[in-house]
Structure formats: C-alpha cells, structure tokens
Amino acid sequence: MLTRLITTDTRIKVSSTLDSSLGKSCLVDGSPETCWTSQQAHIIQGLPQYIQLSFSSPVTPRRISLTFQGGFVGTTCVVITRSQDATSWQELTRIYPEDVNRAQIFDLTAGEPLKGMKLVFEESSDFFGRITVYDLMIEGEV
C-alpha cells in the first residue's frame, strides 16, 4: 500500500515564487483554491524552474501526482533524486505533463530509499516560462 510521502516534516524549496500568496506551502495544502506560481523565466535568468523536496527519513517514491493550471504547465520535467548515501543528484526519469487542468499521475521506479527529490521543469507551456501547480503528491513506501 502506498503512503503519502510529503509530510509536515518534509522541507520544500522552489526556484522562485511570483508572490507570497502563491508560495511553496500551497503545493501541499490540499486546497484546490491555492497554488504555487513561479516568476517569469526572464526575471530569474530563464528556465528551469524547480520544486525540491528533502524528506525527514528515507523514502521510496513510486508515484507523482501533479495538478497544473492549463497554460502554465511544466511540459518537460526531469525527476532527479539523492539517495541516503549520496551527496550528488542523479536523474531518475523524465516526465512529460500535458497542458491540462487535471491531476496527472506518473509512475516511478526508484530502487533504493531516497533522502531528496527534485522536479526540474525544463520547459513550460507559458510563453514567459511560468509554472503553476495546484497540487503535488508523492506516494511510495517509508
């Protein structure tokens, strides 16, 4: 049985935030009314935008669920991870979300427990490179 891996002890870091009302806490607050929105790409020296998670204890992620705002979708996303013994990041997989307003689920094949995960959005459906995420859920094993 899969468990939600993002808890109140999970540290979340993002590349940028449009303003404080659209911050990183909105990614996981469970409200369909709130979201994280990045700044325009040219303001922060261009893409990529990212969401970085640091777990309080090792986890094995099996599935990512992302709900974007259509028109502001990270259409190319590299999922990189850091194992509990490693100090550097390694690419796990690439995912290609559709430009839609519904939850999209992507299966993962992480083999060993991880202490960190980063979703790096290399491309956006928005002309200015903004990304808007209403919900982020990572499920797996603890």
Give the per-residue pLDDT at 100.
96
Q: Which two tokens stand for residue 101?
A: 């307003």
Give the domain 3-141 fold: Jelly Rolls (2.60.120)
The predicted-structure confidence for 3-52, as pLDDT tens digits, reads as follows: 999 999 999 999 888 887 778 888 999 898 999 999 876 555 556 899 99
Q: How is the chain split into domains, by residue range?
A: 3-141
The predicted-structure confidence for 75-88, as pLDDT tens digits, reads as follows: 999 999 998 777 78
Q: What residue type is 116 in one-letter code?
A: G
Give the per-residue pLDDT at 47.
66
The predicted-structure confidence for 61-70, as pLDDT tens digits, reads as follows: 999 999 999 9
Alpha carbon 42 to chain centroid, angstroms:
21
Q: What residue type is 95 in one-letter code?
A: I
